[in-house]
Copies of this chain bind each other. A is one copy, B any other.
């Protein structure tokens, strides 16, 4: 009877486990409600309501996020003892850093900032970045550094939702802010990179979340990452939409 009740316990646990599709649906629901495509600042951007100075502030602040992505991926690589996983994941560092100086996603983001009218020397030192943006990005590094590989991989799953946002953003930028058009190469690259990366990460978490508790960790990691993206836009929207709100020491646009 002892082995019988153990079997029953096992069955209960397995029934409790979400199927791959159920897990995918839960992650989609998080994205639908919490991904930053719904943020007021993005809605303003897509309606063409932002000034050049506000777009400069966005590009300059988000550069801090972009510049930390390969650092985040390096922290993540360091968590894996599997050469095959590391080979697959290191593509991301290559995508952002490129093969040589002047290539890669970080450089392309600088070109977007330049298209907005900033000089690269204003952007690269990150001196004018809003403290609120810095704390949010640093929270992302801490999330990856201080948690399991499963949670770290799951926190990248916002890429499941990025292609639609990037497509819309490119269309609206060409329409409302044509001066940005020479700087859109970053988004062109991400249109194919992000879905590839998301597919890999989704497959990884679907395979490696072996218990319901781990599946819930995956979902919570995606929620946490959505909050990190959202909070960056909160800080930007607060500082640069209402006059008088730029905190001491932060970037001040020299144009409207």
Contacts and interface: CB of A to CB of B under 8 A. Distances in A.
Interface residues of A, number: 28
Interface in A62-99: none
A67 B130 CA distance: 25
Interface string A228-256: 10110011011100001101110000000
A132 B136 contact: yes
A41 to B, nearest CB: 10
A131 interface: yes
B138 A33 contact: no
A230 B247 contact: yes
A247 B223 contact: no
Contact of A248 (B131, B226, B245): B226
A244 B243 CA distance: 19
Contacts of A138: 135, 139, 142
A132 B234 contact: yes
Interface string A133-157: 0111011001000000000000000
A184 B34 CA distance: 37
A182 interface: no
Given A235-B234, A239-B234, A245 B136 contact: no
B245 A131 contact: no
B223 A131 contact: no
A127 to B, nearest CB: 12
A230 to B, nearest CB: 5
Nearest to A39: B247
Contacts of A227: 131, 247-249
B135 A231 contact: yes
Nearest to A246: B234
A131 B234 CA distance: 10
A163 B245 CA distance: 25
Given A136-B131, A136-B135, A142-B142, A247 B234 contact: yes
Nearest to A248: B34
A40 B244 contact: yes
25 contacts: A34-B249, A40-B244, A40-B245, A130-B231, A131-B136, A131-B227, A131-B228, A132-B135, A132-B231, A132-B234, A132-B235, A134-B139, A135-B135, A135-B138, A135-B139, A139-B139, A226-B248, A227-B248, A227-B249, A231-B235, A234-B235, A234-B239, A234-B245, A234-B247, A235-B235
